[in-house]
Structure 1
Amino acid sequence: MVKRADKEQSQVKRATRAAYGVTLAHLADEGLPVVAVDADLTGSTTTKKFAQASPDYADRLFNCGIAEQNMVDVAAGLAATGHIAFTGSFAVFGTGRAYDQIRNTVCYSNLNVKIAPTHAGISVGPDGGSHQMLEDISLMRGLPGMKVLVPADYAAAEAALKLAAYTPGPVYVRMGRASVPAVYADGVELEMGRAYVLREGSDCTIVACGVMVEQALSAAATLAEQGISAEVIDAFCVKPLDVDTIAASVAKTGCAVTVEEHSVFGGLGSAVAETLAATHPAPVEFVGMRDRFGKSGEFAELLEYFDMGVPAIVEAVKRVKARVAIC
C-alpha cells in the first residue's frame, strides 16, 4: 500500500506541473544525463527551474521557440547521443502539433524521449477550448512502445517524472495547470504498470486518473453517506494498464465507473472497457468529456458544466449499479 497524504497534507494544493523543473534538477543531481527541450514556455512548464538550479544545468535546457515539431526532433537527436530528453510545452501543442514527429521520429526508433507537457485537460480553465487538450491520452496510448503516466497530484507527478527517466524508451507524462489537493504523501514511489487501490469498497469500482482521482475519492465519501461502498483505484499508469488490479476489483464489485479529465473516447475509459471485455465482462459507465470541445471558465465551474464532477460520478455509480440489478 502506497503512503497517502494525511488530512493536513491533503489541504495543501499544488499543480502537477510544479513538480517538473525541480524534479529534473533532482534527477541531474543523481547523475542522470537529463536534458530539457522546450517550446518557448519554460516559465509556464517550469523547466526554467531546472536551468536555474545550477549553472551546470543552464546549458541543459534548450529553448526551440514556438516550434513544437522541431522541439521533438531536437529531443530525439539529444536522445540519440545518450541523453534522457524531456520535452516541455502545453499538451495541446506538445502532442497534437508534434504528433507526426512523436510517432515517426521518437516511437518508430524507440528513442529515450519523454513527452511531458503541462496544461492538459479542462483544468487549464480560462484558456478555453482551443487550449484544453482532451485527446492526448488517446493519441499517446495508441502509439507502439509509448508508456502513459497520468499523475494525480504533485507527489505523483514527481514520482512519474523519476519513473520516466529511469524507464528506457518513450514515455508520456501528463501534467496540469490547476493546483489540486494532495492524494499521496511527499516522496511516494510509484511503479510502471501499476494501479493503486486508494479506498476499498464492495458495491462498485471507480477507476480514475490524474486530477480526477481526488474527485473520485470525494464521490466515494458522498456515496458512503448514502450506504454505497465504492472502491477507488488510481490508474496512474494508463499504459500499460494494471489489468490484474482492475479485473480483481470488478470481479468483487460487479461493475465499474471510469473517471477522467479527457474524452471518453480512446482514453482511460476505453482502456478499462477493453480490459474488462477480455477478462471480466461487467457493466461500465464513463465520466469524461463527451464528444465536444471545452469552454473558458474556472476548473470547478467546468467540472459541473460538463458533468464531470462529484455529483456526476455519484450518479454514474448509481446508474451502473442499477444495470447490475437488471442483469
Structure 2
Amino acid sequence: MPSSSSILSSGAAVALFAQAALAYTQVNVPAPFMTKNIDPIVFPGSFDKSHLHSFFGADGVTASTNKSSELENSCTNADNPNDLSIYWVPTFLYTKDGGKSYEPVPMFRFSAYYNLGETPAEVPFPQDLKMVAGKAEGTKPADMPAEAKIEWVCEGMKNPPPPDKNGFPSKTCDTHVQTLLYFPQCVNEATLETAYKDRAHGTPNWCPQGMKSMPQLRFSIRYDLRKALPNGWDGVAPFKQACGDNIYCSHGDFINGWTPTAAKNMVATTSDKYHFAPVDGDRGKAGDKQTCKQRDADPSHGTADYAESVKLMGKRSVEAVGWESRSRFLKI
C-alpha cells in the first residue's frame, strides 16, 4: 500500500477540489511568437543540432533554459497571465513548388488543455518540470509512443479522408488540419522524473511507485491552409515536419512556467473532463489581456530559416540521442 504521503486523503481531496469548479482548464495561444532551431531540453545550448521548432508562451526561452525561474520575467502570448510556461513543437511546413522550398504552415490556434487523465491529480506541476511527448527520431508507425496518442486529422470533418503514406490527411480539409498529443501525468517530485499512468503499475493513482499524479497536459494545434493552399490537395499532402517527412516524428516539449499559486489552483480544476474552469493566480485572472510585446530573448543566435537549419544539421552527428542525422536532413 502507498504511504499516506503518496496520495491525498479523501478529506484533503474533497477540501482541495471544493476550492474551485471541478473541471478542466485550457490555455490558448494565437500563434507561435518564435520559430527557431533550438531545443533547450534535448540539445541545451546548441544552435546547430536541433531542427526548427515553433515556440508558444513565454518569450524568455533560450537554447539554455533549464528552470522555471528563467521564465518568470517573460512576456507570454498565452491567454492566462499566470502561465509563463514554454511549449514547442517541430515546425509544420508546406510546399507550393513540389518540395523545392518549404514555409511554416499558418496557425489558427495552439491550445494546451489540462484535465483529469485516468485518475485525479494529487499534486501541481513542480517548478523546473520539463517534459517531452512523442519521439523526435521516429520514422515509422511503430516508433510513435502509444501513450502520447498522436493524431493528425481534419478537425470535425464528417467524412475525413484516409491518411496518405506519410500519415497526413490525403485530401483537402474542410476546416483545419489538427494535431493532438498527450504528455506524461505522473511525476517524482524529488527527481522530476515523469511517466504515463498505467493500471499495470498496481497503485491507486496508476503511477509507478514513488510517483504522484499531476494534471494531464494535452496539445491541440489547429493549422489553417485555406489561404496558403487555396486549391487544396489530393493524394500525398504537400506537408512535412521539420523533424521529418511524416507524422511519426511528431513530438511536443514543455518547461513549466506556471506560478506556484496558479499551479496549485489548477489541481482543483482537473477533476472533470467536460466543464471549463479558469485558473487564476498572483498575476491576474485567466483571460486577462497582456500588454507586453514579445521578442526573441537571444536574437543573435540560431536561425528561423528552414533551409539554413537543414544545412546546419547536415553537418552534425548526434549519437547521444540514439540516432545519426548526417544524411537525414540533407534533402530540403
Q: What band does the TM-score fall into relative to the shorter chain?
A: under 0.3
Determine which structure has more spread, i.e. the larger CA radius of gyration.
2
How does the TM-score come out when normalised to structure 1?
Answer: 0.24
Q: Which has the higher helix share?
A: 1
- In the superposition, the TM-score normalised over structure 2's length comes to 0.24
